[in-house]
Amino acid sequence: MGSIHYEGNDNIHITSPLDPEEFRNQAYKVVDFIADYYKNIEQFPVLSQVHPGYLRKTLTQQSAPDDPECLESILRDVDRFVIPGISHWQSPNFFAYFPSSSSSAGLVGEMLSTGFNVVGFNWVSSPAATELEMLVVDWFGEMLKLPKCFLFSGGGGGGGVLQGTTCEAILSTLVAARDQKLKVIGRDMFSKLVVYGSDQTHMSLQKAAQVAGFGEENFRVIKTTKSDSFGLSPTSLKMAIQSDIEKGFVPLYLCATIGTTSTNAVDPLDSLCEIAQQNGIWVHVDAAYAGSVCICPEFRHFLNGVEKANSFSLNAHKWFFTAPDCCCLWLKDPSALRNSLSVNPSYLENKATDSGEVVDYKDWQITLSRRFRAMKLWVVMKSYGVANLRMFLRSHVKMAKIFEELVGRDERFEVVVPRNFGLVCFRLLFSEIDKSNAMNLKLLERINKSGRAYMTHAMVAGMYLIRFSVGGTMTEERHIVTAWKLVQELANEIYLM
């Protein structure tokens, strides 16, 4: 193919949108740019300090260029305009939300996944994409000591799939549970189905319920208490179910959580599943953040009872060093999912699918198209091995313990709930709750405005608390100590107000 010359850009000739040698040349430059970004990441304010609409106001270019620009010019613009608007999730001083931990292996795996650029919606469209996914979900399941009934290799019909997010995993399983139940009781009973969660369950459940057609009258939010460490009480669940049955409703679906967003609460899975089984309820276990650390034997007990659940998911892109997006979902009976989500147009007919010997992952998710996520998860597992992955996770928990101990030594503060995993929830103490909430809000605002650290908050039982989440790949103990010194420094200012 001949080169295309662009008038006014004598040095730029494009031979093809995907030329191997041009890609090689540009990729080296981009890798250098990203490596330098990570090398200098601590120089940037962790939370972006820009104001809404900043980009359109600062960009000199207000419309797409007619002629091509060289990569060097593009990267200069990234440096000048994009980076100031980034909140640096990979900064060692990022303690907000939950981690989005990356790694060298995760980045390399992402490059391979994007480079191959296959769309493995069914087996025949790219056999390796499907079979590698089946392999890595089994590997991960074995690391977690999941019951054999959740694994392809278990022989019982179970298996796993890599979805984009927990939102997708919950929606998919909720739709499967809905259709499975309606097939038994009749579709005219849809308005009687009820979905259960606690007031600490992630908003993904409510969003999934809305998308799946459930109204507010079919959605139960069960209150939790500090005395139960904000875990879902089996007694409260049982009472809610009995009340619904008496009113003519049909209990359908329960989302139990291992590591809630606000406080990292752990729902008592075994007891909840017992109650659910007695009432024919599908149990989905959301372990989006905390599930990864359960590959460590000392944390595996948090999953006790999972053998009684119907489905289980975690986000490898949160705390398993795999860049987003990569949500692992395991099911005892994937046929329920396939029955709800399978559509087979004539243009996708093929002998492999007709044989019944292959998995077509398009039938395990909402969308048709799907990324080669298995590649990056496989590269992470192979690059580090189970022993090192456990070591990385344990180091984060150790650093969280250090921060928890530092908070405990300062009588002006309290740790609001017992620490689970890598999250510490703390607050300044004041006698009046309203004043306490206002002062902690001011403290958090000052922490984040400083640019030296980034933390987020939660409201539980009327208390405004500050969340300190440890899980960044580049975070070291010195960053924990420095962050605590910052908190104390700003707390001194708050007390002088």
Q: What CATH number does the domain containing 122 carry?
A: 3.40.640.10
- 219 CB burial (10 A radius; 0-12, 13-18, 19+): middle
Q: In this predicted model, what pLDDT tens digit does every residue of 450-476 receive, in sequence order?
A: 999 999 999 999 999 999 999 999 999
Contact 468, 415 (CB under 8 A): no
| Tokens standing for residue 497 | 């107000």
Is there a cis peptide before residue 66, judged by omega within 30 degrees of 0? no
**How many angstroms separate the CA atoms of 452 and 423, rounded?**
19
Cα Rg of the chain (Å, integer): 25
Instruction: Count, in order, helices (H) and strands (E) of the chain.
Output: 15, 13
**Mean of the pLDDT values across residues 228-238?**
97
pTM of the model: 0.95
Structural domain total, the chain: 2
For residues 53 and 161, state if they share a domain: no
pLDDT, residue 226, reads 92
pLDDT classification of 479: cutoffs 50, 70, 90: very high
Contact 202, 168 (CB under 8 A): no
Q: Which residues pair with 427 in a beta bridge?
A: 414
For residues 135 and 265, state if they share a domain: yes
Query: What average pLDDT is seen over the chain?
Result: 95
For residues 79 and 114, state if they share a domain: no
**Mean of the pLDDT values across residues 238-266?**
98
Q: In this predicted model, what pLDDT tens digit does every residue of 325-339 receive, in sequence order?
A: 999 999 999 999 999
For residues 169 and 216, state if they share a domain: yes
pLDDT, residue 431, reads 87
Instruction: Tell which wins on pLDDT, 9 or 59.
Output: 59
For residues 201 and 257, state if they share a domain: yes
Does residue 29 sit within a domain?
yes
For residues 55 and 24, state if they share a domain: yes
pLDDT, residue 310, reads 98
For residues 48 and 191, state if they share a domain: no
For residues 173 and 318, state if they share a domain: yes
Does residue 395 sit within a domain?
no
Does residue 134 sit within a domain?
yes
pLDDT, residue 3, reads 47
Distance between first and last Cα of the chain: 71
pLDDT, residue 1, reads 35
Residues near 228 by beta carbon (within 8 Å), at least 6 away in sequence: none
Does residue 68 sit within a domain?
yes
Does residue 182 sit within a domain?
yes
Does residue 95 sit within a domain?
no
Does residue 138 sit within a domain?
yes
CATH for 49? 1.20.1340.10
pLDDT, residue 7, reads 47
pLDDT, residue 15, reads 72
For residues 130 and 74, state if they share a domain: no
**How many angstroms separate the CA atoms of 223 and 200, rounded?**
8
- 394 CB burial (10 A radius; 0-12, 13-18, 19+): middle
Does residue 263 sit within a domain?
yes
- DSSP per residue over 309-346, as a string? -SEEEEEHHHHSS--S--EEEEES-HHHHHHHH----G
Helix axes 373-409, 477-495, angle to 10 degrees: 50
Instruction: Select from 353, 381, 409 the last residue of a domain.
Output: 381
For residues 282 and 354, state if they share a domain: yes
- Domain carrying residue 60: 20-85
Using alpha carbons, select from 185, 255, 200, 257 the residue that is nearest to residue 230.
Answer: 200
**Mean of the pLDDT values across residues 239-262?**
98
